């Protein structure tokens, strides 16, 4: 549970836009990894790490290597934003030295390592995805 919403791992492969549309139909959007704690820098970092870890655990349980999260830079190259337009406050990128792929404008979370690093991919790639859906 994400504060006032819940997370759903969708076990269908879709492009980023198809995935986003499917989440919107369910009254939500692609997942945003933000703070759920009270206040304080250490608490925020820990909460965001735990949110990321929750997604990782769901992927491992279903034997899924990667899934879309709501992060993209499709509006302005290099300016990554969440679906609500919010900036990325906490990052978990695994760039592997590849920064120059202007055709990679969407983000996935991966289960290659326990810290569940994020990678950027082409938005037309069909993969699983996480929806974040309000409870009320």
Q: Does pLDDT of 36 surpass 50? A: no
The reported pLDDT for the residue numbered 29 is 97
Give 90-133 pLDDT, tens digit per residue.
Answer: 778 887 555 678 889 999 999 877 778 899 999 999 999 999 99
Distance CA 129, CA 109 (A): 9
Characterize the bridge pairing of strands 66-72 and 106-110: antiparallel
Rg of the chain taking only CA atoms, in angstroms: 14
Query: Which residue from 91, 125, 111 is spatially nearest to 9, judged by alpha carbons?
Result: 111
- pLDDT at position 113, please? 75
- Domain range 5-134, its CATH number among 1.10.10.10, 3.40.47.10, 3.10.100.10, 3.50.50.60: 3.10.100.10
The pTM of this model reads 0.86
Question: What per-residue confidence (pLDDT) applies to 4?
Answer: 83
């Amino acid at each position: 549970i994400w504060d006032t919403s819940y997370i759903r791992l969708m076990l269908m492969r879709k492009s980023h836009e198809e995935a986003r549309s499917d989440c919107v139909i369910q009254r939500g959007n692609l997942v945003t990894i933000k703070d759920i704690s009270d206040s304080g820098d250490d608490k925020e970092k820990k909460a965001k790490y735990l949110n990321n870890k929750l997604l990782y655990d769901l992927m491992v349980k279903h034997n899924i290597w990667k899934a879309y999260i709501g992060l993209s830079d499709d509006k302005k190259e290099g300016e990554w934003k969440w679906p609500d337009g919010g900036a990325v406050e906490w990052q978990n990128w695994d760039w592997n030295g590849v920064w120059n792929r202007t055709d990679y404008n969407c983000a996935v979370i991966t289960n290659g390592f326990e810290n569940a690093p994020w990678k950027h991919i082409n938005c037309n790639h069909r993969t699983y995805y996480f929806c974040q859906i309000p409870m009320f």
